[in-house]
Amino acid sequence: MFFQRLVNPGLIICLLLATAGAHAPSVAVDAPDFQLTVIANESGSLVRDSAARLVQTAREDGLDIRPELASRPGERQAGAGSPELLIMPLRSLATQVPALEILELPFLYADTDNIHRAFDKDLGEVLREQVRRQGWELLALWDEGMHMLSGNRRYDRAINLTGMEFILLRADPVAEKQFTALDAWTRKAQPQTREQLLRECMIGSRSASLQRLWYERLDRVHQDLSLSAHRYEGWVVITPSADWGRRNDKDKAALLQALSSTTQWQRAEAQRREADALIQLKTSGMRIHTLDAEQRAAFLARLPAWETLLSDTLEHSLRQKLVAAAATGVVERPNRQ
C-alpha cells in the first residue's frame, strides 16, 4: 500500500516479539556477519539509501551485512535468516519504549542539531538504558527531518491553528496532545493512494518533514507551508540484546565504526534532501512562512509542561529525568502571567 512507510505499530510489536528472543547463530558457510531488516517500502527513500550506505561502509571494513527490505513487519524473503539488525521508524519503537517520545516533543528542539547534541550526550545514555530494558540495544539514531506545517492557512501564527483539522496517517499520541494544546483537531486517515490523501487534505492540514510533504505532493492542494520545525522525525537502528551479547568484540567494533561513519553521512544527506524538498515545494508555488523568535514563543506559551506531553505510562521521576537530559536542546519558555 502507498502509505505503509510508517507501519502499523501493532505489527511492529509482533515483529519485535518474534525476533527479540535468543536464537542460535547460523552455521551456514555463507552466512553474513549480520542479517539486516529495513522496515520501509518506498524505493529511493532516505532510510533505504542509508541502509545501503551502511552495507557498503561495513563491507569496506570486512564486515558482511545482508539487507532485507520489508514493506511490512513480518514480511520475510525466502531463505532470509532472523534479523540481527533492524531499522525502523522512531515512532514505531516508541510504542514499546515510550521514553523515546522525548525526542518527539513539539518545540522542544529548535532543529536536528539540537537533537544530536542532546542524544550524543546524557539523553542518549538514558534512552539506551530504557531500550535495553525491553531487550534491545539502540545503536544509532538516523534523521529524516523536522516537522513543518502545511495547509491552506499560514501556520506561522499559533492562533491560526485554532479549530483547524490535521490529518494523521498513524497512531500518534504525541501529535494528538500537541494539537489539542494548540486548539486544533486531529483525524486518523488510511489513504491507499496519493490521490486519496490529497482529497483528505483539500480540507485537512498536515504536519511532516519536508521530504514527506514533497513526496505526498501536498503542493497540489495546499497553498501555505510554515517552517515551524516543531518536531523531530527519525529512524532507529537496533539489535536484540541477547544477540549483541554473543557477538565478539571484533564484530561489535566493526559494526559500531560502520554505523558511526554512516550516521555522519546520513545526517548530512537528510539535511540536503530536506533543503531540496523545500526548493521543490517553493518552486511549485507554495507560499513559505518562516517563524521568528516571537512567533515560536507564542507556540511555546500554549503548550503545557514538557512532562505532561510524555506517555502516562512513564513514572514522573523518569519524565523529569528525560526532560533534564534533553536540556541541551531545550528552548527557553516565555514567562507566563
- What distance in Å separates the CA atoms of residue 209 and residue 148, rounded to the nearest whole number? 6
Q: How confident is the model at residue 14 (pLDDT cuts 50, 70, 90)?
A: low
pLDDT of residue 329: 59
Pick left, alpha or beta for residue 285 (phi over 0 → left; psi -120 to 50 → alpha; otherwise beta): left
Tell me how far CA of residue 154 lies from CA of 109, 160, 198, 202, in angstroms: 21, 7, 18, 15
* Bridge partner residues of 137 (DSSP): 239
Q: Which residues of 109-120 are buried (b: 16+ CB within 10 A; e: fewer)?
A: beebebbbebbe
3-state DSSP: the chain helix, strand, coil percent, rounded to 5? Answer: 45, 20, 35
* Bridge partner residues of 165 (DSSP): 185
Convert the pLDDT of each residue in 219-274 to its tens digit. Answer: 999 999 999 999 999 999 999 999 999 999 999 999 999 999 999 999 999 999 99
CA atoms within 13 Å, Cβ hemisphere of 238: 30
Name which residue leads in pLDDT, 2 or 128: 128
Pick left, alpha or beta for residue 33 (phi over 0 → left; psi -120 to 50 → alpha; otherwise beta): alpha
- What distance in Å separates the CA atoms of residue 38 and residue 62, rounded to the nearest whole number? 21
3-state secondary structure of 125: helix
Convert the pLDDT of each residue in 33-63 to its tens digit. Answer: 999 999 876 777 999 999 999 999 999 989 9
Residue with cell 533505504: 48
pLDDT of residue 69: 74
Q: What is the largest CA-CA distance in the chain?
A: 69
Name the nearest CA neighbour of 143 among 55, 266, 326. 266
* Bridge partner residues of 185 (DSSP): 165
Q: What is the DSSP string of 244-288?
A: HHHS-HHHHHHHHHHHHHHHHHHHHHHHHHHHHHHHHHHHTTPEE
Contact 32, 62 (CB under 8 A): no
Q: How confident is the model at residue 68 (pLDDT cuts 50, 70, 90)?
A: confident
Three cell numbers written together for 126: 538514558
Tell me how far CA of residue 52 lies from CA of 68, 73, 169, in angstroms: 10, 19, 27
**Helices (DSSP H) in 133-221: which residue ranges?**
173-181, 194-200, 210-215
DSSP state of 205: B
Name the nearest CA neighbour of 38 among 75, 86, 84, 91. 86
Q: Please report, to the nearest 10 degrees, the dihedral formed by the alpha carbons of residues 254, 259, 260, 262 taken in order.
A: 120
pTM over 0.85: yes
Q: How confident is the model at residue 327 (pLDDT cuts 50, 70, 90)?
A: confident
The Cα angle at residue 211 between residues 208 and 216, in degrees rounded to 5 = 75
At 194, the amino acid letter reads: R
Q: Which residues of 159-189 are buried (b: 16+ CB within 10 A; e: fewer)?
A: ebbeebebbbbbebbbbebbbebbebebeee
